[in-house]
Amino acid sequence: MELASGCHVIQTHLLICSAASSYVGLTVGEEAVLPCFNHGDPNGTETKWKTKQITISWDSNQLTSRWNQMYMSDGRSSGNFSLIFTSLMLNHSGWYDCYEQLQPGKNKLINAYELRVCPKSEPLTEFFLEGEEVVLSCNSNLTDNVMWYRQTAQVNDVILNTRSIKTANYPKDLDGRINASDPPTFLVLFNLSLADRGEYWCAVFYKGVCVSVTKTVLVEWDPFGINSMFYRVYSSLMGCALLGMVCVLITVNLKTRRRDQASLNSRKTAAQTLRQKRNGVEEEGEEINEKRGQMKESKEEK
């Protein structure tokens, strides 16, 4: 997507402008791709990348670039010589020139990028309702250069860049709906709509070094959504109800076990009593038989 300032956003949080004011803002640990396409004769010319420290060509690609967590795409057949960073570090900040070497001492610049890598920061979440306003802020008092940009479902563009402009030149869809503090460490968006949902970034630079990044995610407030008071109360009530049901089940289970145990004990006691009675009857029968035997013996002796 081409922007009014001549910039392009080619991936999330990757901002690229023209060679005269090339500008790339990313954070530590992210992946990045600096595009460079050259569909010339690969046998007659060579496409290279040049930084302040090294020159990257396909021959030296594997030796010098992988170690620095970056490498150049093999564009000998596709024409894609993009420079790829697998995991950005702060020392990757600097200028990157992609050029075609026509002959020794004669080069043709294809693309030039200024890469600025910023420290990591945890994103903030702001909820809004349609028609409301929201205040976006930067976590820094340094105001050498502040840049605001956004990524929504409809647009990826720069909102404000104090480095390239002295007066505000906001995107058309924000006309009459935006105010910036002076210095612009605060940004106020008015009359919000669903189209404003997305990510908003503020990058603060001091003496050319990115010192902080503040990311804010604008999310529509759903009265019955997961972050609503209704959902929290409902979840609490459901949790209490579930806990109550569990307690009731445990109580019923314990009572049932106790009742079963008592019934089992009663049956055991009854069986034991019956056995004792049977044993007593048997003993009485044996005594009676013994007495009868004795009486019979006495009669026979007489």
Amino acid identity, residue 65? S
CATH classification code of 8-118: 2.60.40.10
Average pLDDT value for residue range 109-129: 87
- The CA-based angle 231-234-238, given to 5 degrees, is 135
Cis geometry, peptide bond prior to residue 183 (ω within 30 degrees of 0):
yes
pLDDT of residue 36: 92
Largest Cα–Cα separation, the chain: 155
**Pair of tokens at residue 144:** 């050498």
pLDDT of residue 6: 38
Higher pLDDT, 159 or 124: 124
User: Percent of the chain, pLDDT > 70?
Assistant: 73
8-118 shares its CATH topology with 124-220: yes
CATH topology of domain 124-220: Immunoglobulin-like (2.60.40)
Average pLDDT value for residue range 46-65: 73
Place of tokens 């935006």: 178
Q: Is the pLDDT of residue 167 over 70?
A: no
Contacts of 163-172 spanning 24+ positions with Cβ under 8 A:
163/21, 163/23, 163/205, 164/5, 164/17, 164/21, 165/5, 169/4, 169/5, 171/4
pLDDT of residue 137: 85
Q: Where are the domains of the chain?
A: 8-118, 124-220, 223-302
- Work out the pLDDT band at 8, boundaries 50, 70, 90: very low
Q: Is the pLDDT of residue 201 over 80?
A: yes
Residue by residue, what is the 3-state secondary structure of 114-134?
EEEEECCCCCEEEEECCCCCE
pLDDT of residue 295: 74
Q: To the nearest whole number, what is the mean pLDDT of the chain? A: 76
* Cβ-proximal residues to 168 (8 Å cutoff; 6+ apart), any chain: 160, 180
pLDDT of residue 104: 74
- Work out the pLDDT band at 18, boundaries 50, 70, 90: very low
- Weakest-pLDDT range from 57-61, 90-94, 208-212: 57-61
Q: Is the pLDDT of residue 210 over 80?
A: yes
What is the number of residues in the chain?
A: 302
- What's this model's pTM, rounded to 2 decimal places? 0.55
* Cβ-proximal residues to 89 (8 Å cutoff; 6+ apart), any chain: 28, 69, 117
Q: Is the pLDDT of residue 63 over 50?
A: no
**Pair of tokens at residue 263:** 């019934």
**Strand order in 178-180's β-sheet?**
134-137, 186-189, 178-180
Residues 253-270 have pLDDT tens digits of 888 888 877 777 777 777
pLDDT of residue 55: 84
- Work out the pLDDT band at 232, boundaries 50, 70, 90: low
* Cβ-proximal residues to 26 (8 Å cutoff; 6+ apart), any chain: 13, 14, 32, 88, 115, 116, 117, 118
